[in-house]
Chain A
Amino acid sequence: MQTANLIIVLLAMVGIAYYMGRGRSFALAKPLGGIRHLNSLPFYYGAQTAIWCCVPSLILLALWALFDEPIITNVVLSGLPEAIQPQTVADQNLLLNRIENIASGALAAGADEQALSAAADRLNGLRETAQWVLTAAILSLAVLGGLWGWRRVSPKLKARNQVEVVFKSTLLACACIAILTTLGIVFSVVFETIRFFSFDEVTITGFIFGTEWSPQIAIRADQAGASGSFGAVPLFVGTLLISFIAMVVAVPVGLMSAIYLAEYANPRVRSTAKPLLEILAGIPTVVYGFFAALTVAPFLRELGESMGLDVSSESALAAGGVMGIMIIPFVSSLADDVITAVPQSMRDGSLGLGATKSETIKKVIFPAALPGIVGGVMLAVSRAIGETMIVVMAAGLAANMTANPLDTVTTVTVQIVTLLIGDQEFDSPKTLAAFALGLMLFVVTLLLNLFALRTVKKYREQYD
């Protein structure tokens, strides 16, 4: 039976188990004088039986799915004659692929490859058997579990407590997915990064301090212009330049908008302007990328030409400026939160001493809100550093080390995307370099976020 069908059958069995368990509790309660003599409500007896029916079989199914394929391929490989036993891992993968193709009928085995077609038959046979065994095992486990759960139903059974323990563990497991995700991120980038640094042509210091970035690896030794050097400094410089431009746009505009909305605007203006500004945050980044690449960049180029400036058509200014527009609502809503959290008494005190509104804002509210604003700005910086689509579409690929905003620069995220789009070879430093860059990005944004979240939280507690 196909696994999908198996799951459907299992679901049906769980439903039956629920009704049987529930029915049994009613039957047991009747002679005692109604369900109030049961320990728990009938629902819980049913649920208890259903849990016994499905949990063990689901665990088996999961384990099977994990270990099924490796075991079968191992058996098939060890059954091959000595002469064609693969020597290396790469050979083994090739051979397995070939057997796989023969087994599925996509390829015909060559005349001299009797052993391979035998292996393919064996593979098919083993898979079929495995599927049958799995079906039988799962179904019998479900029946046995269900029966066991059904037999356990008795007026004294604390079914509710048991069901609730299972529920609660499920909830806990769901909460732990967040931790698993973080672990997954850390492990996946760290492992590939270690593999990256184990190549001879890359060193950690060369990566962090090197000033030349050209990740193309020479295929032939005498190939020109393909040095394969991994010095990431130009990428860092480019990322910082674009993020800086974005911040120059976003921080003043966002901050002043927040101050105006929180302190000056009447409720009507506030209730229209705020959601309108927040539309900017909801627009997908790919749209900003398109806008930057096809509208802003040519506009800046023409503007520069009319002033006699040489503006690159993939200038950092276009990408950074548009990114800044994207971040405006992010800064303004965070700043708005912290400004409105400043107690009214501080405003009243300052105004009572004769300060104008702007003086109150500049001398009292702003200093009081500063930690929160700094936290918000740092979150915005981390957004800018990690932003991908705008720079992929509007910034260039040339790894220039320049602080000139009219020039083309490239960023860490652009390089990650470029290195991983298309063919990925996980045995070449070119592909793995993307993971090393990803690790850098993750660490930097993590530190920024941790610091920012802590500041914001501390600040909130101060006035709560």
Chain B
Amino acid sequence: MTDQAKAPVESTIDKVNKTLARRYRAEKRFRLYGMLSIGFGLLALVVLFTDIISKGKGAFLQSYIQLEVTYDSDVLGVYDVNDEDQMALANFEGVVKQALRNRFPEVSSRKDKKELYQLASLGAAFELRKQLTADPQLLGKTETLWLLADDDIDTYYKTIGGEEFIGATSDKQRAWTKSLVDADEIELKFNINFFTRGDSREPELAGIWGAAKGSFFTLLITLVLSFPIGVAAAIYLEEFAPKNKWTDLIEVNINNLAAVPSIIFGLLGLAVFINFFHTPRSTPIVAGLVLTLMTLPTIIISSRAAIKAVPPSIRQAAMGMGASPMQVVLHHVLPLAMPGMLTGSIIGMAQALGESAPLLMIGLVAFVVDVPGAINDPATVLPVQIYLWADSPERAFVEKTSAAIMVLLAFLIAMNTLAVFLRKRLERRW
């Protein structure tokens, strides 16, 4: 005790002052960590978007080759365009091949010719068929047409003068493409196929219209089922449920279901809807049922929040005027809570639109070429189409996949913007 008294007295404020610099540094560091974390998150977002866009922007354009095509009766085997049998068997590919041979007369060996034919897509023959069917006068005439190029040629053409090309083209094919480029006989046009066709094994013919329509039907079913059921459940739980074990159980259940991995719902769909109720596999109807069960908890939870936000004074006023509890809810609470419920449902629908894991199990991965026309046609949905294309070995599908992702994200952003807009516009603060 006495020693301390002799030593120069260090007051508390000195002690504090000594450590202040260190503490302020710690403070700054801590703050920096926070900023770095947010920066990391935002950086990830930016990298993700630029990566997808840079990979996918090319898919909206497609290479076309200019060729002089002769609708030669002998090559086609068509002498009368109105004869359906002749048209069905018509050799339009032969016409395309002939046009290619005429363009590159120097190609002679069998092997080279085979490589030459690969410049044009199968879609070129389809296009010629369409042209001839539309205008029978063309038979025997020669036309200069822009025909769809093969996916490898397309990928190669897009990389000329740019990044390194990785793909399956031979040296000769590249030389031919170069000569087409020099003669201005290959060019990029808007890729209408991508927005109007279904899936295909040929990347240049593959489109998202089939998947988009499948997604539309699926979401339609999901919305029609989950919105009324979700709202009804929320009304019951919020307004009528007595406080007992049974309603507690329902509550715990709903909260839990919201956190169950989505793949489990796929197992449920497979075991219950497909194996037990024999719902047709690979259709929007079964996908819609599974997604309904999946989005219900989201909709119930947000609807309950919306109902809770309606002030009790509204209920009391209605009760005071002699309304029954059901009338209070249906005439007063529900209309006031509707904007909140709609917002929640749109967000739930956006989730359902992006969901793919449970759908893999109920057959939505089937290769479907035809665009679905009804809810019980075989179909696939956008995210599953993305998964399927991402798995395809063809280089050109990378571009298509990224473009499909851009379309999907555009839909999601539109839906979320709508939800935010509705919330801002309609939701009342009490």
Contact = CB atoms under 8 A, between A and B. Distances in A.
Whether A and B are associated in the same complex: the answer reads yes
A255 B38 CA distance: 10
A413 B40 CA distance: 28
Contacts of A59: none
A260 B361 contact: no
Contact of B268 (A181, A254, A293, A354): A181
B218 to A, nearest CB: 14
A273 B38 contact: yes
B26 A293 contact: no
Interface string A302-321: 00000000000000000000
A382 B259 contact: yes
A182 B45 CA distance: 35
B296 A177 contact: yes
Interface stretch (A19-27, A202-210, A229-237, A437-445): A437-445
Contacts of A175: 232-233, 236-237, 241, 250
A325 B44 contact: yes
A171 interface: yes
A34 interface: no
Interface in B257-277: 257, 259-268, 270-272, 275
A223 to B, nearest CB: 27
A416 B266 CA distance: 10
B371 to A, nearest CB: 21
A79 interface: no
Interface residues of A, number: 87
Interface in B280-324: 293, 296-297, 300, 324
A178 B253 contact: yes
A181 B296 contact: yes
A405 B360 CA distance: 27
A290 B390 contact: yes
A386 B354 contact: no
Interface stretch (B102-110, B186-194, B401-409): B401-409
Nearest to B357: A388
A430 to B, nearest CB: 15
A280 interface: yes
B421 to A, nearest CB: 13
Interface stretch (B27-35, B69-77, B91-99, B174-182): B27-35
B41 A295 contact: no
Interface string B335-364: 000000000000000100111110011000
A178 B232 CA distance: 12
Interface in B387-404: 387, 390-391, 398, 401-402
B386 interface: yes
A152 B288 CA distance: 40
B42 interface: yes
Contacts of B230: 174
B241 A389 contact: no
B27 A357 contact: yes
Contacts of B271: 188-189, 191-192, 435
A256 B387 contact: no
B255 A453 contact: yes
Given A160-B324, A282-B416, A253 B40 contact: yes
B326 interface: yes
Contacts of B240: 168, 171-172
Contact of A280 (B45, B264, B300): B45
B38 A260 contact: yes
A137 B265 CA distance: 37
B405 A287 contact: yes
B48 interface: yes
B246 to A, nearest CB: 9
Which of B35, B264, B296, B360 has its CB near the most chain A CB atoms (within 10 A)?
B264
A128 B335 CA distance: 46
B31 A260 contact: yes
Given A164-B326, A325-B44, A359-B23, A178 B296 contact: yes
A43 B324 CA distance: 14
A336 to B, nearest CB: 12
Contacts of A181: 257, 268, 293, 296
B237 A286 contact: no
A184 interface: yes
Contacts of A325: 41, 44, 48
Given A284-B408, A291-B48, A450 B296 contact: no
Contacts of A282: 350, 354, 412, 416
B220 interface: no
Nearest to A329: B41
Given A168-B326, A257-B34, A361-B30, A356 B23 contact: yes
A213 B249 CA distance: 38
Interface string A428-452: 0000001100100110011001100
Given A256-B37, A417-B361, A445 B236 contact: no
B256 A276 contact: no
B67 interface: no
A185 B262 CA distance: 11
Nearest to B259: A449
A177 B229 contact: yes
A179 interface: yes
Contact of A328 (B41, B261, B409): B41
Nearest to A354: B16
B272 A260 contact: no
Nearest to B258: A449
Contact of A441 (B27, B264, B402): B264
Given A413-B263, A441-B264, A285 B354 contact: yes
Contacts of A257: 34, 37-38, 41
B161 to A, nearest CB: 23
Which of A359, A388, A450 has its CB near the most chain B CB atoms (within 10 A)?
A388
Interface string B211-248: 00000000000000000111011011100110000000
B38 A287 contact: no
A264 B408 CA distance: 35
Given A387-B261, A421-B360, A178 B250 contact: yes
A261 interface: yes
10 contacts: A170-B232, A256-B33, A257-B41, A293-B390, A294-B398, A357-B30, A416-B361, A417-B360, A420-B266, A421-B361
Interface of B: 16, 23-24, 26-27, 29-31, 33-38, 40-42, 44-45, 48, 51-52, 55, 228-230, 232-233, 235-237, 240-241, 249-250, 252-257, 259-268, 270-272, 275, 293, 296-297, 300, 324-326, 350, 353-357, 360-361, 365, 383-384, 386-387, 390-391, 398, 401-402, 405, 408-409, 412, 416
What 10 A-B pairs come out closest when comparing CB atoms? A386-B261, A260-B34, A284-B354, A188-B271, A256-B37, A358-B30, A388-B357, A174-B232, A171-B236, A175-B233
